[in-house]
Amino acid sequence: MVASILALVFIFPKRHDDILLNLKSLVIFALVGCVTNISYVIAVVNGNVVRSMLLFFMSPLWTIFLSFFLIPNDTFQKKDAYIALLSIVGGFIILFDPNSFLMNVGFSDFFALLAGIFFACTNVLARKFSKIHYQSKSFAIWVGVAVGGALLILITNDLNVINLINPKSLMLLLIIGLLLFCSTLIIQYGLPKINPVKASPIFTFEIVVAALSSYWLANEILGVKDLVGGLFIILAISLSALK
């Protein structure tokens, strides 16, 4: 909501023609962005931050498939198949349960995977809708998440969360809203300019930041299995950056 209010003040007045002209496409973009962001928050709040991010960053796998169907004019190479395979292996290692020899997909794991799929869709749509101004697409994401979050609170009848807002938490919400406002604008400015598959390596630095901050702020430490699986996923993302 904070980011949406900022957008209504600083962006909508100068981009309202572009927004209204591409309203149908932006509604789709808003829905995809809504599922991406809310699923991601649910994953990192309820599970291990870095584990959730590693599963989230299986996105190159989903990006390859979605790009093939949504932007077929983009060129694909043989290495894309290796990228997909490495991502699958990495995800399998992280989720594999040696005690039962089955995949152990927990609550937060599911939402991390869901967020990754829809994040890949966001990246592909950002390029597909390249003629729409990046500020308009950012506006759609903010409004979509704000509306989706409000509906989720109503559907789950969890109105008590509003009582948790106090001066201290309000300041935190304002800071997060400002960071989201800036980061979304930067991402939507850059994504249309490069192939979606090649965009994934840029985001891997986020894993490093998450690992350090989750250890420092939340005392979280990854298991060996998560580290090995994460290496496969990072390798896949790094491979996608090679020409």
- What's the pLDDT tens digit per position in 7-21? 999 999 999 999 999
pLDDT digits (tens, 9 = 90+) for 120-150: 888 888 878 888 999 999 999 999 999 999 9
- Predicted confidence at residue 70, as pLDDT, reads 73
Q: Where are the domains of the chain?
A: 2-241
Low-confidence ranges of the chain (pLDDT < 50): none
Contact 187, 141 (CB under 8 A): no
- Predicted confidence at residue 67, as pLDDT, reads 74
- Predicted confidence at residue 72, as pLDDT, reads 63
Q: How far apart (Å, rounded) are the C-alpha atoms in residues 169 and 165? A: 6
Q: Where are the beta strands (DSSP E) in the chain?
A: 96-97, 102-103
3-state per-residue secondary structure call for 177-215: HHHHHHHHHHHHHHHHHCCHHHHHHHHCHHHHHHHHHHH
Q: How far apart (Å, rounded) are the C-alpha atoms in residues 94 and 111? A: 15
- Predicted confidence at residue 196, as pLDDT, reads 58
- Predicted confidence at residue 151, as pLDDT, reads 92
| Token pair for 181 | 């406002």
The model's pTM = 0.77
- Predicted confidence at residue 15, as pLDDT, reads 94
- Predicted confidence at residue 146, as pLDDT, reads 94
- Predicted confidence at residue 73, as pLDDT, reads 66
- Predicted confidence at residue 4, as pLDDT, reads 93
